[in-house]
């Protein structure tokens, strides 16, 4: 893999993401919740225009690439995106609609109407603390957007999902750092520890997709690739900014991450990708989870919390991801949005579709590879 080829692939993927456009959101009014959960085919999740988690991850991928380049190449796009959504009216507050705030927090000092954006971010952080429903152990209940109703929510009562760490906890931590708000920083740390407590499998190093405080189990007990990758990448972003952790807590999180990284290395397929169910080679290989895993491993090495040997695993993943990018810049082999499942077939039957987050996570992986000169 030459640097020139990787650079060309990165530019293709970014351009495709910028021009994904919207989707026919009215289609969601005619789909049942059961069908949406079974297939992942929710119109809201396609395109780059809507204020929700797929688009929020898309924004963050562009932001990470912009930071790597050291300029403001996407700033006009960001401003237009946020202004367009504000004009349209924001959807319901929930875990997934928190994700766009992570990028807004990073760029708002460079935008006009900074005070308005600051007020929005502060209100969202306070909502997470004071109004978001909580599970047992005061975990963040993974409340998601309604299907076909921008103002509605799906409560997912008593449920922890690993996705929450990337969708909401990173934002809360970084808000705490920006405003020196100890309550926000403490709550972000609490959520990291609660999610490790209930979702980490110490026998194999993988994470379950979720935990139910009502069922008192991990649903189908599935080790879903993209879910695990939210931790792989997300925890490196968290640790990079968590300067005030006490030594015992930092070591606990680091030990968990390192064991997790070892488990991932051991299950990587011959192609360099990871299977959508990590420990099931009969499940399809999936690109978005592979991308976030690769980015997390590269960052881990760069931050000095993983040894250099993990570079080999990351390089294999980057090469495989390059093969997933077609001539138009579309990242292939990306699974659609994935709700909680009770059996392996649920995850195997999620459709494979080009998605904003597939583009974005691949961008993050490529940007990290370029930065580390893999």
DSSP 302-326: HTTSS-TTHHHHHHHHHHHHHHTB-
Determine the pLDDT at residue 42: 86
CA distance 53 to 176: 21
CA nearest to 364, candidates 333, 328, 321, 335: 321
In this prediction, residue 151 carries a pLDDT of 94
**What is the structure's pLDDT at 322?**
98
Please provide the average confidence, as pLDDT, over all residues in the chain: 96
Least confident of 22-26, 128-132, 191-195: 22-26
User: Torsions phi, psi of 217, nearest 5?
Assistant: -155, 180
- Tell whether the model's pLDDT for residue 45 goes beyond 80: yes
| Over residues 87-114, mean pLDDT | 97
Q: How confident is the model at residue 29 (pLDDT cuts 50, 70, 90)?
A: confident
290 is in which domain, residue-wise? Answer: 3-29+38-372
pLDDT at 26 over 90: no
Would you say how long the chain is, in residues? Answer: 374
Mean pLDDT of 12-33: 87
- Over range 150-154, report the average pLDDT: 95
C-alpha pair distances (Å), 50 with each of 45, 97, 126, 214: 8, 10, 23, 32
* SS3 (DSSP) at 136: helix
Tally of CA atoms within 13 A in the half-sphere of 64 that contains its CB: 27
Phi-psi group of 185: left, alpha or beta (phi > 0 → left; psi -120 to 50 → alpha; rest → beta): alpha
Q: Does residue 25 register a pLDDT over 80?
A: no
pLDDT digits (tens, 9 = 90+) for 124-138: 999 999 999 999 999
For 66, the token pair is: 């912009």
Q: How confident is the model at residue 46 (pLDDT cuts 50, 70, 90)?
A: confident
The total of structural domains in the chain comes to 1
More confident residue, 22 or 113: 113
Residue 323: pLDDT band with limits 50, 70, 90: very high
pLDDT bracket for residue 332 (50, 70, 90): very high
The CA distances from residue 241 to 64, 139, 170, 303, in Å, are 15, 22, 10, 11
* Confidence at residue 185, expressed as pLDDT on a 0 to 100 scale: 98
DSSP-derived 3-state class of residue 58: helix
Q: What is the pLDDT of residue 37?
A: 80
Residue position matching structure tokens 């020196």: 180
Kindly provide the b/e burial profile for residues 200-238, where b requires at least 16 CB atoms within 10 angstroms of the residue's own CB.
beeeebbbbbbbbbeeeebbbebbbbbbbbbbbbbbbbb
Q: What is the CATH number of the domain that holds 112?
A: 1.50.10.10
Does residue 285 carry a pLDDT above 90? yes
What angle do the packed helices 75-88 and 53-69 form, to 10 degrees? 160
Percent of the chain at pLDDT above 70? 100
Give the predicted TM-score (pTM) of the model.
0.97
Please give the pLDDT value at position 374. Answer: 76
The string of DSSP codes covering 75-101 is: HHHHHHHHHHHHHH-----SSGGGHHH
């Amino acid at each position: 893999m030459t640097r020139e080829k990787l650079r060309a692939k990165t530019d293709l993927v970014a351009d495709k993401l910028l021009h994904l456009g919207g989707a026919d959101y009215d289609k969601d009014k005619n789909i049942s919740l059961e069908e949406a959960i079974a297939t992942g085919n929710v119109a809201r999740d396609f395109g780059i225009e809507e204020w929700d988690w797929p688009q929020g991850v898309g924004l963050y991928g562009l932001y990470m690439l912009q930071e790597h380049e050291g300029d403001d190449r996407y700033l006009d796009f960001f401003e237009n995106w946020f202004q367009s959504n504000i004009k349209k009216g924001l959807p319901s507050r929930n875990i997934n609609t928190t994700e766009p705030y992570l990028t807004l927090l990073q760029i708002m000092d460079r935008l006009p109407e900074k005070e308005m954006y600051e007020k929005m971010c502060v209100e969202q952080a306070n909502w997470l603390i004071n109004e978001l429903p909580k599970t047992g152990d005061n975990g963040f209940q993974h409340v998601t957007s309604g299907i076909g109703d921008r103002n509605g929510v799906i409560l997912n009562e008593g449920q922890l999902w690993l996705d929450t760490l990337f969708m909401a906890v990173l934002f809360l931590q970084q808000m705490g750092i920006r405003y020196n708000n100890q309550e926000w920083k403490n709550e972000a740390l609490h959520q990291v520890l609660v999610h490790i407590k209930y979702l980490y499998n110490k026998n194999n190093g993988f994470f379950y997709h979720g935990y139910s405080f009502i069922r008192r189990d991990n649903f189908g007990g599935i080790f879903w690739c993209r879910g695990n990758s939210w931790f792989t990448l997300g925890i490196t972003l968290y640790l990079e900014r968590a300067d005030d952790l006490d030594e015992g807590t930092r070591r606990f999180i680091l030990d968990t991450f390192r064991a997790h990284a070892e488990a991932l290395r051991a299950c990587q397929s011959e192609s360099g990708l990871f299977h959508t169910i990590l420990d099931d080679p009969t499940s399809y290989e999936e690109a978005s989870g592979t991308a976030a895993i690769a980015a997390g491993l590269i960052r881990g090495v760069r931050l000095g919390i993983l040894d250099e040997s993990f570079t080999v695993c990351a390089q294999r993943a980057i090469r495989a991801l390059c093969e997933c990018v077609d001539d138009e810049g579309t990242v292939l082999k990306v699974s659609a949005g994935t709700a909680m499942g009770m059996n392996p077939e649920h995850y195997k039957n999620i459709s494979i579709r080009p998605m904003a987050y597939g583009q974005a996570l691949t961008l993050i992986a490529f940007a990290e590879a370029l930065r580390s000169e893999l």
